[in-house]
Chain A
Amino acid sequence: MTADPAETPAGTADGTAVADLTAAPEVAAAEVPPELLAQSLGQYLRAWWLRVRSGNSGVLPVVLGMVVVAVAFEIVTPEHAFLRPSNLVYIFGLSTVYMVLAMAETVVLLLGEIDLSVGAVALFGGVIAFKLVQQPGPGWPWWAAMLAALACCGLIGAFTGTLTARLKIPSFVVSLGMFLLFSGILVVVLGGANGTVSVSSSAPNQRVIYDLVQGLIAPIASWVALAVVVAAVGTALWLRAAARRRQGLVAPPASLTAIRIALVALVGVAVVVICTINRGTPLVTVQGVPWVIPIVLVVLGVLTLLLQRTRFGRYVYAIGGNPEAARRAGVSLAAIRTWAFALCSATAGLGGILLGSFFFGEYSTNTADPGQLVLYAVAAAVIGGVSLFGGRGKPVHGVLGGLLIGGIAYGVSLLSLGTLATPLQYIVPGGVLIVAVLVDVLSRRGTGSVARA
């Protein structure tokens, strides 16, 4: 079938389509996801380009941003060290924290709200998990400590959400208060300004937590795992398209599905190659994929499933798009908002545990600045393509944005700028955030969804 997309009637609707008298065709084409109309790869690419040109560029800016950042830092860093495998793996590890926090923030941003407490709550969750596995001390098993920390964070989020949803206090204010509150509580729990809490790889109940980021999957196992992931993703994509075709629904062209699977495989191979190059010293071999990469993929999968394939997720998007429509459809706005904040904070808690593991199992008041963390989380989500105005974005955008932010943050720290290094840690991501918000605002204007509302 190579029908012109302009003549393709809706879904399975019969072919009695009248000419589209009402819509300005270019505008409509720009908003329609290209795979819905394209019957061939060429059409898909043309439709995609039309969308990009009209300001609806999807993940293109963040991918381009990564290329620019990689090239720029490779040029300006001393000895052109930015793209060395050891540095790249370090960036992966650092970025996973931002990725998880950005995915957490995405849940709330989709509602059209914002949670400024993710950084503080994440650090609090991390400290709770670390405290619970201490020996002597509670000595909990690692999984119980982590679950307790996530539950704790979830409760905090539910509290923030309740204040926002039931008492109608702007989430900006509530979460700002929670940010300050938990930034302080964090120091108390850590035991003062110089307090630390750490886990080691030698204690059996702490080892898993230490290994979350530090642990490596052996090269062979890495390749096997990659093959399994690609096969699973590929089969899922392929079966999905086949099922739609079987029911007479519009499905993406097979070539497109193949290209998508190939892209997943390509990215996966690149990551595994980078991670399995020996990045140790000639004496000590260090190679393998960090555990945290599959962990982030699992978080991504779970959140994507929740947001795209469940009622909860559908209502999150609906509230972000038009709360009044959701209310009239019988959606309990307060309940969905509260759950979304709880989910955000629980996810952030995992990010906090990863952060402790990333810093070789040690938590101190210097581990991270909660203010900077939340800036990075919001920036990563928005740079990745999540709209600040609600209703638009996916968890995967948080992952891409998190990688970009991680690259920038680490690149800046490589520059040996002396006293300038710390301010630049804020200036560069802050500047990128402003640009991303501008893109967000301008693309909304371009697609006219504001004007029509």
Chain B
Amino acid sequence: MTEVNEAPEGASSGGDAAEPLLKLRGIDKHFGPVQALYGVDLDLPAGQVTGLCGDNGAGKSVLTRCIAGVHQVDHGQIYFEGRPVHIRSTRDAAALGIETVYQDLALADNLDIVQNMFLGRERLRRGLLDEDSMELQAAETLSTLRVTTVRSIRQPVASLSGGQRQSVAVAKAVMWNSKLVLLDEPTAALGVVQTRVVLDLVERLRDRGLAVMVISHNLNDVFEVADRIAVLYLGRMVAEGPAADFDRQSVVEYMTTGSSGGRPFEPAGSASGEG
């Protein structure tokens, strides 16, 4: 594999060629007296992986939850496919095609892979669960994502390794014709080999034309898969742009000080910094 920052194909560089799938403008969010997000702008283009970085407490999770519909934004506008939308609940997000894979995966250990993938959206036939059709669909989704290391898709999730669990959670998220997948710390609990499996999976999502946002502490992972990088610092978006405009050093500086080399972020191509 190439080592770092595979630059995205020329045309999509900078994200201005086409309207991004999801566009956040001036997002404010506070919890009581605590302001968590200050006027955050963010573009998530289709067919690209955006790495969202930031130190603890920078607002990564809050921003993710605002997009996922867990929190509602106080001010600012969310555009989805160019249209302004209000995401008031996780159901709203799912209806738009936004799926979130949380860090704790939200899988029921005692249920098998098929049951987990269809949890809450079971198919029925004559009022009863249509197990066979769900199993076929789940198997197809897993095989298109090339998640083939599981022995049986009818085995309980408890028996899977960490990487396999993450793969199942991701497959669950993409099975519903989703357009945007948010991955919260997808490799945090994984070893080297399993991390590889998950990063490959993220690349396959991008190849399918999905917009992907990866929230991660691990800069190795971010540089490995991200086409674009966005850095939050104390609730403000301090840098956002093609991954090629960043190196490890600058990302760390943005994460810890909010600027790099004493200067705020200036993207090489177009202006999309923060306000």
Contact = CB atoms under 8 A, between A and B. Distances in A.
Contact-residue bracket for chain B? 35 or more
Interface string B99-126: 0001011111111000110011110100
Interface in A393-452: 447-449, 452
B152 A250 contact: yes
B139 A13 contact: yes
26 contacts: A10-B142, A10-B150, A10-B152, A10-B153, A13-B143, A22-B161, A22-B194, A30-B159, A36-B152, A36-B154, A37-B152, A244-B132, A247-B132, A250-B152, A305-B128, A309-B128, A314-B111, A318-B115, A321-B108, A321-B109, A321-B110, A322-B107, A325-B107, A326-B120, A447-B158, A447-B159
B164 A23 contact: yes
Nearest to A313: B129
A269 interface: no
Interface string B152-187: 111110111111100000000000000000000000
A389 to B, nearest CB: 10
A357 B121 CA distance: 43
A20 B159 CA distance: 13
B249 interface: no
Interface in A241-265: 243-244, 247-250
A36 B155 contact: yes
B61 interface: no
A31 B155 contact: yes
Given A16-B148, A318-B111, A321-B109, A23 B161 contact: yes
Interface stretch (A114-122, A328-336, A374-382): A328-336
Which of A250, A449, A452 is most buried by chain B, counting CB atoms within 10 A of its CB? A452
Contacts of A328: 90, 102, 106
A44 to B, nearest CB: 13
Contact of B149 (A21, A249, A317): A21
A4 B254 CA distance: 53
Which of B131, B151, B154 is most buried by chain A, counting CB atoms within 10 A of its CB? B151
Interface in A1-49: 5-6, 8-14, 16-24, 27-33, 36-37
A447 B155 CA distance: 13
A323 to B, nearest CB: 9
A309 B150 CA distance: 24
B146 interface: yes
Given A27-B159, A329-B120, A452-B158, A11 B153 contact: yes
A17 B110 contact: no
A324 interface: yes
A438 to B, nearest CB: 20
Nearest to A323: B108
A449 B109 contact: yes
Nearest to B155: A32
A391 B110 contact: yes
Interface residues of A, number: 57
A263 to B, nearest CB: 22
A322 B108 contact: yes
B95 to A, nearest CB: 12
Contacts of B156: 31-32, 449
Given A23-B164, A321-B109, A14 B129 contact: no
B235 to A, nearest CB: 25
A167 interface: no
For the complex of A and B, 5 pairs with smallest distance between CB atoms: A329-B120, A31-B159, A321-B108, A11-B139, A391-B110
B91 A314 contact: no
Interface in A295-322: 305, 309-311, 314, 317-318, 320-322
A452 B189 CA distance: 11
A453 interface: yes
Contact of A322 (B106, B139, B148): B106
Interface string B17-52: 000000000000000000000000000000000000
A33 to B, nearest CB: 7
A32 B151 contact: yes
Which of B108, B111, B138, B147 is most buried by chain A, counting CB atoms within 10 A of its CB? B108
Nearest to B158: A449
A325 B165 CA distance: 13
Contacts of A27: 159
Interface string A187-210: 000000000000000000000000
Contact of B110 (A22, A248, A392): A392
A205 B139 CA distance: 55
B138 A243 contact: no
